[in-house]
Homo-oligomer: A and B are copies of this chain.
Amino acid sequence: MPTLVMKFGGTSVANLDRIRRAAKRIGVEVAKGYDVIVIVSAMSGKTNEMVGWVNETSPLYDAREYDAVVSSGENVTAGLMALTLQEMDVPARSWQGWQVPLLTTSAHSQARIEEIPTKNINEKFAEGMKVAVVAGFQGISPEGRITTLGRGGSDTTAVAFAAAFEADRCDIYTDVDGVYTTDPRICDKARKLDKISFEEMLELASLGAKVLQTRSVELAMRYKVKLRVLSSFEEQSDEAGTLVCDEEEIMESNVVAGVAYSRDEAKMTLLSVADRPGIAATIFNALSDGGVNVDMIVQNISEEGRTDMTFSCPTDQVARAEKSLLAIKDAGELNYAELIADTDVAKVSVVGIGMRSQSGVAAKMFKVLSDEGINIKVITTSEIKISVLIDRKYMELAVQALHDAFELDKAA
């Protein structure tokens, strides 16, 4: 029997009505002859509520207990979904992570999936079960304790199941109807893409287009899982939503696939750092140990043995970054004149696999921003992406101007 994985996020199972709506959609796929594995998130708001309780109880919490608490929301949805399907005469049962079992590392609250044995679920499919409803986001460690996969981890659960069960497709039902050329909330010309490559989706996801957890896209790329993003709030056909797939499956595409942005960026500059070998390692090791996720890094030209070092990180990690750097300064490991934090910046990026074969994209991007009078503070590039830091007040303007300039409102 062909297998399909369908994942429903928190807003798609927010209440009993929405669970019924999702169940109907599942019924359609069962009627087509699929054995279906459904991955469910917690009802929207539930996980946040529990994370709040844990943080209030214990700011430096034991991650094993955090996982035991915050994984419970998915169990509720899984049971309710199984009951709803049974009411529609679809043979279904719920599975918690430890029942599958979904085996993970012991890295609690950010565990990685090690293996998904298919035996238990396949036995039930053989007995006539048509839908296995699996609680997303959770697994079990080698020590027999509950683990979770990090926020958004249900996407990763879904892709991992699709890989393990060699599913025809992994459909991610969410509150948007696909992947857009940019955020429709800030650019009304944003256009839904029918297809996007794994590589582009990875860059867009990591750049703040929060449709899919980054890890789920990596996993789908590695195991060649056909990933589809579509809305649980609309009637769906087989061609709905956006298919995330190998670039070979995309015949024609624009040079630039999308414009992404990230609002909560901070630009940190260390003035007058001694420019000697190993100094960058000292700085970024300290930041990493302090839990700071450094994104862009720029080093200015050295003058008289001293240089300025600039990096960006999320706004809410500025205090941690300052603390980490002050600590190594006090310890005599680093010398700098001043640390300047600019928390009024945003990151805007253009992404597209077409850049590999077509030059001039960066030049065009810089000209567009310049024509709008927007000053570029930091630039980084990868093979398929160009990102700039700019003043936050220009962010929406920059996104709209770039979307226009690269004609993203028109299909290739």
Residues of A within 8 A of B (CB): 16, 19, 50, 53-54, 56-58, 61-62, 64-66, 68-69, 71-73, 75-76, 78-80, 82-84, 86-87, 93-94, 96, 98-99, 144-146
Contact = CB atoms under 8 A, between A and B. Distances in A.
Contacts of A64: 93
Contacts of A79: 54, 65-66, 68-69
Contact of A58 (B53, B72, B86, B98): B86
Given A65-B86, A69-B75, A75-B75, 10 more contacts: A50-B76, A54-B79, A57-B83, A61-B83, A64-B93, A65-B83, A65-B93, A69-B76, A72-B75, A96-B146
B82 A62 contact: yes
B75 A58 contact: no
Contacts of A93: 62, 64-65
A404 to B, nearest CB: 48
A72 B69 contact: no
Residue picked from A57, A61, A98, A145, most chain B C-beta under 10 Å: A57
A103 B76 CA distance: 22
B72 A86 contact: no
A87 B68 contact: no
A108 to B, nearest CB: 12
Contact of A57 (B19, B65, B99): B19
A96 B68 contact: yes
A58 B78 contact: no
A57 B80 contact: yes
Contacts of A76: 50, 53, 69, 72
A16 B83 contact: no
B83 A54 contact: yes
12 contacts: A16-B53, A58-B84, A62-B83, A62-B86, A64-B93, A65-B79, A66-B79, A68-B75, A68-B78, A68-B82, A69-B76, A69-B83
Given A72-B75, A76-B72, A99-B144, A65 B53 contact: no
Given A50-B76, A53-B80, A65 B87 contact: no
Contacts of A145: 99
Contacts of A75: 68-69, 71-72, 75
A13 to B, nearest CB: 11
Nearest to A84: B57
B99 A82 contact: no
Nearest to A146: B96
A253 to B, nearest CB: 44
Nearest to A55: B83
Given A16-B57, A98-B98, A80 B69 contact: yes
Given A68-B75, A76-B69, A79-B69, A57 B96 contact: no
Contacts of A82: 62, 65, 68
Contacts of A99: 144-145
A64 to B, nearest CB: 7
Nearest to A78: B68
A18 to B, nearest CB: 12
A120 to B, nearest CB: 8
Nearest to A75: B72
A129 to B, nearest CB: 12
Which A-B residue pairs are the 4 nearest by beta carbons? A69-B79, A68-B79, A58-B83, A72-B72
A61 B76 CA distance: 14
